[in-house]
Amino acid sequence: ETFDATSLHILPGAIDVHVHFRDPGYTHKEDFESGTAAAAFGGVTTVFDMPNTIPTVADGETLKAKHAIASSKAHVDYGLYAVLGEDTIDKVPELIEAGIIGFKCYMGNTFGRIPTPSTGAMLEAFEMVAPTGKRISLHAETNSVMERRQKRLTESGRNDPLAHLASRPAVVAVEAVARAAILAEWTGARIHILHISSGAELGPLRDAKARGVDITGETCPHYLMLGEDDYARCRGIIRVNPPVRESVNNEPLWAGLLDGTIDMIATDHAPHTPEEKTRADIWSVDCGFPGVETQMPLMLTQVAAGRYDIRDYVRWSAVNPAKVWGLYPKKGAILPGADADLAFVDLNHAWTLRDADLQSRSKISPWDGRGVVGLPRHTMVRGRFVMKDRALVADTKGHGRSVHAIQQMPEAKPLHTDETMAAVIAHRPEAAA
Ligand code: NCD
Ligand code: ZN
Ligand code: ZN
């Protein structure tokens, strides 16, 4: 068999650290087969799947069942998240034993209605996870604020897509990022801020990094490229948590990526059916939309436009996700599984994104009709093509493997302890007097 890569660039396959493949429980929206097919078409060779499936991934048995599903259906490699919440703190050891890539903590309510932990429960959960070295990814929006806002908006009869944005203002995320960073600082837990949607969140993120907190962040194409002007065009389709914000946020988010405050691009691939996305009552529209297969073309379009270099893109799409989750080979070492996960891309190919062409079961997104430059032509996972010439390769269902087995995350240490606090108090002037 011959293979011609003339005019193609070979990039590391993207690692999308934030997808919802809905399996088990919501397979009418997506399953591990359709979701990983979408990934393969997007040049994505590894995905980290979120735990808001049914039942919620919060104990070892549920996780094992999900592993069985994923390993039998996946075209690409994957990691599985487990929920870290008020009632699951004592499940940390069995979840790690059953094989997770990391924990997910829901500070704000979103699809699946997973209960949000109190600050006290978060502190205990962080203390429990820190010595394990696993990273905790946070949906950082403060629930109590949003619920009060939404109540007032619905009571005043608002039922337009922009009311959803009004119910979740940026301060909700800013406060949650700052609070999570403080808990990480005092427990040593490694944390990751999911779906950064506003320029304002960069303040507490940057401050925490400067204090030495092991904190990382991601943003998504929709926060970089969409704004309030897209609400009228997209109606309920654009409803996502956190919301797409005013377009004044786009440039600060790009700047945050370029200066390293934001570490990576993820998609929050959140598929729902057209019926679920177009309900008349805006408050009952399911939040999120597919993204795993459109991220690379959307981002490469900006390379073609000269906004940044292909090496910047590779850092955000593959290198930093691998480093942050302990999948990056140490110098001189060969890490099994890190070999030949590749996207073969045509950087000059101009085409148009069409919802109808998506591999995802959710053929409805804000990107329909958008012109892009850059096409993933073939995708290889561990040396084997899973997508070739824009077609799925036969018999690659079940080729995907969980990457938790090759993850290396050393124990984490807190920057401060209660003894540090005692020392600080002892040095206060009134204590000395
Ligand atoms: C996600 C989903 O549908 O699972 N929805 C969303 O709007 N982003 C959940 C989430 O990431 O908050
Ligand atoms: Zn979320
Ligand atoms: Zn999500």
For residue 268 and ligand 1, the question of a CB distance below 6 A is answered with yes
Question: What is the rounded CA–CA span in Å between residue 131 and residue 134?
Answer: 8
**Token pair listed for 353:** 């994104």
User: What is the CA(228)–ligand 3 centre distance, in A?
Assistant: 21
Q: How far is CA 183 from CA 130, 132, 180, 225, 415, in A?
A: 11, 16, 5, 32, 11
Taking residue 78's Cβ as centre, other Cβ atoms within 10 Å add up to 28
Contact between residue 249 and residue 223 where contact means Cβ atoms under 8 Å apart: yes
User: What is the CA(111)–ligand 1 centre distance, in A?
Assistant: 5
Going residue by residue through the chain, which has 433 residues, state the pLDDT in tens, using 9 for 90 and above: 678 899 999 999 999 999 999 999 999 999 999 999 999 999 999 999 999 999 999 999 999 999 999 999 999 999 999 999 999 999 999 999 999 999 999 999 999 989 999 999 999 999 999 999 999 999 999 999 899 999 999 999 999 999 999 999 999 999 999 999 999 999 999 999 999 999 999 999 999 999 999 999 999 999 999 999 999 999 999 999 999 999 999 999 999 999 999 999 999 999 999 999 999 999 999 999 999 999 999 999 999 999 999 999 999 999 999 999 999 987 777 655 457 999 999 999 999 999 999 999 999 999 999 999 999 999 999 999 999 999 999 999 999 999 999 999 988 888 887 777 677 667 766 655 5
Terminal-residue alpha carbon distance, the chain:
83
Amino acid at 91: K
**Token pair listed for 256:** 């945050």
Which of 22, 241, 361 is the best mutation target for the ligand 1 pocket, counting ligand atoms within 8 Å of the beta carbon and taking the most?
241
Q: Which residues of 7-21 are buried (b: 16+ CB within 10 A; e: fewer)?
A: ebbebbbbbbbbbbb
Helix (H, G, I), strand (E, B) or coil at 372: strand
User: What is the CA(87)–ligand 3 centre distance, in A?
Assistant: 21
User: What is the CA(287)–ligand 2 centre distance, in A?
Assistant: 10
Helix (H, G, I), strand (E, B) or coil at 365: coil
Complex ipTM value: 0.99
Ligand 1 atom 11: the closest Cα is on which residue?
Answer: 268
Whether this prediction's pTM lies above 0.90 is answered by: yes
Instruction: Scan for tokens 């459109």, then name that residue.
Output: 294
Torsions phi, psi for 214 (to 5 deg): -80, 80
Contact between residue 269 and residue 16 where contact means Cβ atoms under 8 Å apart: yes
Question: What is the rounded CA–CA span in Å between residue 229 and residue 182?
Answer: 35
Atom of ligand 1 nearest to the CA of 52: 4
